[in-house]
Amino acid sequence: MSTDPHLYETPSPSTETIAISESYDSGFEEIDDDVDMHSIADSGFNSIDAVTVASSIYDYQYENGRRFHSYRSGTYAQPDDNEEQDRLNLYHHVWLLMLRGNLFCAPINPSTCKTVLDLGTGTGIWAMDFAGHFENASVLGVDLSPIQPLYTPPNVTFLVDDVEEYPWSWIGWDWGFEGGEFDYIHCRNLAGSIRDWEAFITEIWNHTAPGGWVEFGESDCWLYSEDDSYSRAPNLKRYMECLIEATNISGASLDIWRQIEPALRKLGFVDIQKQKLKVPWSPWPKDPHYKEIGKYSKITNESGLASYGVARFKRFLNMPDDEFQELVSNARAELVDKSAHLLTDSWKIWARKPEVPDYGRFERMSIDSRR
Ligand SMILES: C[S@@+](CC[C@H](N)C(=O)[O-])C[C@H]1O[C@@H](n2cnc3c(N)ncnc32)[C@H](O)[C@@H]1O
């Protein structure tokens, strides 16, 4: 393991993650929901309301054989079952490959970065990796789903809540983040989750400490090829068109990365930087770095075709289940064709809140009057 906390040596793939693709073709898995209470229940926050919320977060919802979150049911249109958790964990590995081992791009360091927030933390894998390198930082991960591990590094706390409910009343609870300001706020793969990015980034501004950094990692939803080989994947093309339409109808569009930089600038963030990362959808490239990315991204895409669409195509496009299954199966077959040189672009965008912001530290930005 590197001694530089900015660097993270990518773990070698475990047989457990590789098994995603093998088990996937057998169809939707049986899900064992016999989980213990943790998260909010163990946090020390013990009002009657919190206890009620704590028990109900495990009343998972089921649709088309997949399991969905219960707290604020219907808010997020992707499953949170074992299969999706495996996909998220493997996609973390894809991000590490893309960033050549780095967990983040912002110039943060352990001597000044003490409080960290990971919004929409998913399985918490990024938060836990980060906490391992920044042992003196306290890391808070927030998600609608209680899918984080029971045993975590001591400097990580997970919380089930809705990051789109403003103001974030959960900051200031008994989490040790009483100041409500974070030295670093991280968000990754939240396209398709957040409805109003300007409101979301405004609340991020409100909770970024002066001089603190914010960072986003999002992927463009448009699939392309640099030659004309995208034409060899007509089912993937149709799938992506349906997905973009469904997410637009849902209000939580996938097509959002371009909104981030203007919103940061409008709020007063400075030192805004971005990095484009090409992501092959299968191991078609000759270059070993991109081939490696493609090897893992293909597995996540095989699984992601189902998880991104399973609820959205039904809820927002009224697509019958058999039509959806056929489209996914045909699209998945096209991923195998290495003559289709499919790519998407992912983006890292990071920015700093000024030490002396014009507004923000003592006077909160109002989400309703931000325009
Ligand atoms: C695609 S996953 C990304 C997870 C994680 N950031 C990562 O990169 O591995 C999106 C996550 O956002 C969460 N999410 C969606 N809407 C949310 C909301 N309004 N409040 C909190 N979490 C939300 C979902 O439950 C899901 O775990």
Cα(54)–Cα(39) distance, rounded to whole angstroms?
8
Minimal-distance CA residue to ligand 1 atom 26: 122
Q: Using 50, 70 and 90 to split pLDDT, how confident is the model at 363? A: low
pLDDT for 44 equals 35
pLDDT for 2 equals 35
* pLDDT tens profile 261-299: 999 999 999 999 999 999 999 999 999 999 999 999 999
Q: Are 75 and 162 in contact (CB under 8 A)?
A: yes
Interval between CA 187 and ligand 1 midpoint (Å) = 9
Interval between CA 54 and ligand 1 midpoint (Å) = 18
* Residue whose CB lies within 8 A of the most ligand 1 atoms, among 193, 250, 310, for a mutation test: 193
Minimal-distance CA residue to ligand 1 atom 8: 188
* Residue whose CB lies within 8 A of the most ligand 1 atoms, among 144, 165, 257, for a mutation test: 144
What sign for the dihedral angle of Cα 202, 53, 74, 143? positive
Interval between CA 350 and ligand 1 midpoint (Å) = 19
* pLDDT tens profile 81-94: 999 999 999 999 99
Q: What tokens appear for 101 in the block?
A: 């081992």
The DSSP element (H or E) to which 210 belongs, if any, is: strand 208-219
Residue 19 has pLDDT above 80, yes or no: no
Q: Using 50, 70 and 90 to split pLDDT, how confident is the model at 356? A: confident
pLDDT for 34 equals 34
Q: Using 50, 70 and 90 to split pLDDT, how confident is the model at 37? A: very low
Minimal-distance CA residue to ligand 1 atom 13: 120
Interval between CA 140 and ligand 1 midpoint (Å) = 14
What are the structural domains, with CATH classification, of the chain? 31-352 (3.40.50.150)
Residue among 141, 137, 139 nearest 122 (CA): 141
Q: What tokens appear for 144 in the block?
A: 């609608």
Q: Which residues line ligand 1 (CB under 6 A)?
A: 69, 75-76, 88, 92, 120-122, 126, 142-145, 162-164, 188-190, 193
Mean pLDDT score of the chain: 84
pLDDT for 84 equals 98
Q: Which amino acid is at 322?
A: D
Q: Using 50, 70 and 90 to split pLDDT, how confident is the model at 17? A: very low
Residue 3 has pLDDT above 50, yes or no: no
- 32 or 365: which leads in pLDDT: 365
Ligand 1, closest atom to CA 69?
25
Interval between CA 87 and ligand 1 midpoint (Å) = 13
Cα(164)–Cα(115) distance, rounded to whole angstroms?
21
